[in-house]
Structure 1
Amino acid sequence: MRRSSGSGHNSGNNTGRRSTTSRPSSPGRRPSTSIPGKASRLSTIDLTTPGLGGGLKDVLRSRYLLKLLVQKELKVRYRGSVLGLLWSYVKPGVQFVVFWFALGIFLGMNRNTENYPIYLFSGIVLINFFNEALSNASRSIVGNGGLIKKIYLPRELFPVASVWVSAIHFVPQLFVLLVACFIAGWTPGVVQIGAAVIGFLIVALLAIGLGLFFGSVNVYFRDSENFVDMLLMIATWASPVLYSWTMVRDGLFDAFGAGTGGILHTIYQVNPLTIAVELFHFAFWMPTTSGVTDPLTAVPPNLLDLWMPIGVVISVLVIVLGQFTFRRLEGRFAQEL
């Protein structure tokens, strides 16, 4: 009996030592959980209270999880599909043919814009990327509700993964555009390639920021999906994809005069999608023109030194707004879903 009581006494002392030497956990952070497996990158995960994590920084630290989510989304999207990723060629191709016949041939845009098919397609591929990225990102949290309620992982991964999947679909369309440009005599330079890269980044950042915003709001208000659909329709027709920026300028000036029309045209130009599309026109379409097109009116003045930096700044501000809203609302995602 004495031995057992002594053992219990020692056990109590050991327990006391362990409790006094244990490190206090930081506020908002739960103990680490070890997960055995082949991937050492997932060996330790810090479980963080939703809303108190690192936000998009956690996405950068969880690149392997991001890769898994992108692969999962691609497999789910093309499950049972015969063509698979080839749909990334077919859908924009059909859209291009419809717009080309309706606008280029029937409405005579071919006569007003040199190499109108390339002008049209260079804008379509970018707008398609934005539409798909924002549409999927805004639904990503609700669509992965089961996964969010079962395990912990940075919730920002879902909108970012949706944008990554859309970027993968963008690559085949860009390849088709490059082939058409080379056939038309495209001779790119460093400035043109840089403009195309920055134009893509503007759209990607804008899609991530709006995806974070609407993805979090959609958990509480499902009507936001309909609002996003209307926003995408406006983005398609309000960007200089089907028509030139000079038509917008002349139309606004004729309808409202130089004063009000000039203000409205400036607002139109501040739109990051307008800036990104014009950067793609500058990169892919403008080098294919033979000189008949006036370079002073082919793209807006001060595109590279004024409008391009404005587009980058606005996209970054949208990401900041989206991240702020996401972190404020993500605390009750599991309960609302």
Structure 2
Amino acid sequence: MSQPESALAEAQGGGRAPESLAALAERHGLRRAIARPSMPAYLRQLWDRRHFILTYATSRNVSKYSESMLGQLWQVLTPLLNAAVYWLMFGVILGQSKQIDNYPAFLITGVMVFTFTQRTVISGAKSISSNLSLIRALHFPRAALPLAYTIQELQQLGYSMAVLVLLVLVTGEPVSWLWLLIPVVLLMQLVFNIGTGMFMARLGAFMRDMNQLLPFITRTWLYASGVFYAIDDRTKDLPDILRWVLEFNPAAAYIEFMRDLLIYQRFPERWAWVTCLFWAVFALIVGFWYFWRAEERYGRG
């Protein structure tokens, strides 16, 4: 008989009130098999599994289009086809191309940047619920899954950015030293996406209706992010608070930052730096903490 079991039997046989199993386990230094580790320990576990995260993301990226004829080309074709539809609707029919200089580059930049965040949010919401068998079979930090999904979207963005730069050049924009700052804005957006993906991963794990609501939420976010129009021009007659909300929108901030570098050839203003950096840090801290708090609940029930 083990030491905790003998202690419990002794307590019952001696007529004393039996000690609870939780208290007994704590007194003898026993811990739950799936207990949430401390934040520093959790971060170390994630770092130790960095190769698994990268490999898992890459394998998902390769297999995603393996059965289609065009394969990995769909990573670029999908946002380009969406941009073509938006150009027809907003640029031609609604006349935005007459009001905004180089509207094709303006539109494609907005679509590419927003698609990176949109895909991360949607895939992050499914990262736990779609991998329950893996979670129940293996012990690993669950944050590895939304992290892998975000890295997968980052890999797809690499192809899209190459095409975006080429299209911007084709539309007549010159190469500028400001393009050296493109990795900076992408890094801030990546950090924001990691935090947002983790936040959505927990919501998607316990709110099964979230996956049905997300298409409507992201579509509304798309229309509010200035992908098809210039926010400062379209909101000049609106109340200041509404203009501030639209401009403080993280997706709009990253889009405008990228347009400043690629199209307008100007150094982004201070508010753009502050807004993009704020959303990156805020989303990472809140999203990671929110996900970590439910670590021991994923895959149960």
On whether the aligned pair clears a TM of 0.5, the verdict is yes
In structure 2, give the amino acid aligned to 1:272.
Answer: P
> What corresponds to 1:33 in structure 2?
none
- Give the SS at the match of 1:241: coil
Deviation at 1:142, TM superposition (A): 0.9
Map Cα deviations across residues 245-303 of structure 1 (whole Å, 9 max, x no partner): 22332241xxxxxxxx112211221111111000111111214xxxxxxx8xxxxxx94
Which one of 272, 279, 288 corresponds to residue 307 of structure 1?
Answer: 272
Aligned partners of 2:42, 2:290: CA distance in 1, in Å? 11
Which one of 150, 154, 159 corresponds to residue 141 of structure 2?
Answer: 154
Aligned partners of 1:82, 1:224: CA distance in 2, in Å? 32
Deviation at 1:129, TM superposition (A): 0.9
Aligned partners of 2:196, 2:29: CA distance in 1, in Å? 32
- Give the SS at the match of 2:269: helix
> What corresponds to 2:170 in structure 1?
183
Which one of 57, 62, 69 corresponds to residue 82 of structure 1?
Answer: 69
Aligned partners of 2:224, 2:156: CA distance in 1, in Å? 23
Question: Aligned residue pairs: how many?
Answer: 273
Deviation at 1:29, TM superposition (A): 9.4
Q: Verify the 8 A CA contact 2:260 2:268 in the aligned structure 1.
A: no
Aligned partners of 2:55, 2:128: CA distance in 1, in Å? 16
The answer to whether 1:100 aligns with 2:91 is: no
> What corresponds to 1:139 in structure 2?
126
Q: Verify the 8 A CA contact 1:70 1:164 in the aligned structure 2.
A: yes
Aligned partners of 1:82, 1:215: CA distance in 2, in Å? 31
When normalised by structure 1's length, the TM-score is 0.74
Shift of the 205–230 alpha-carbon distance from structure 1 to 2, 3 Å rule, reads farther
Q: Verify the 8 A CA contact 1:272 1:314 in the aligned structure 2.
A: yes
The answer to whether 1:218 aligns with 2:199 is: no
Which one of 281, 288, 296 corresponds to residue 331 of structure 1?
Answer: 296
> What corresponds to 1:273 in structure 2?
251
Q: How does 1:33-112 map to 2 (within 5 A)?
A: 49-52=35-38, 54-112=41-99
Shift of the 186–29 alpha-carbon distance from structure 1 to 2, 3 Å rule, reads farther
Gaps of 5+ in 2: 1-27
The alignment-based identity, stated in percent, is 21
Q: Verify the 8 A CA contact 1:192 1:282 in the aligned structure 2.
A: no
Which one of 246, 259, 262 corresponds to residue 284 of structure 1?
Answer: 262
In structure 1, give the amino acid aligned to 2:217.
Answer: L
Aligned partners of 1:56, 1:134: CA distance in 2, in Å? 22
Q: Verify the 8 A CA contact 2:179 2:261 in the aligned structure 1.
A: yes
Aligned partners of 1:212, 1:52: CA distance in 2, in Å? 17
> What corresponds to 2:283 in structure 1?
318
> What corresponds to 2:186 in structure 1?
200
Q: Verify the 8 A CA contact 1:121 1:177 in the aligned structure 2.
A: yes
Q: Which has the larger radius of gyration?
A: 1
Shift of the 307–95 alpha-carbon distance from structure 1 to 2, 3 Å rule, reads same
Deviation at 1:26, TM superposition (A): 9.0
Gaps of 5+ in 1: 1-24, 31-47, 253-260, 288-294, 296-301
Moved over 4 A (4+): 25-30
> What corresponds to 1:174 in structure 2?
161
Shift of the 57–114 alpha-carbon distance from structure 1 to 2, 3 Å rule, reads farther
Q: Verify the 8 A CA contact 1:89 1:172 in the aligned structure 2.
A: yes
Deviation at 1:159, TM superposition (A): 0.5
Superposed CA RMSD: 2.4
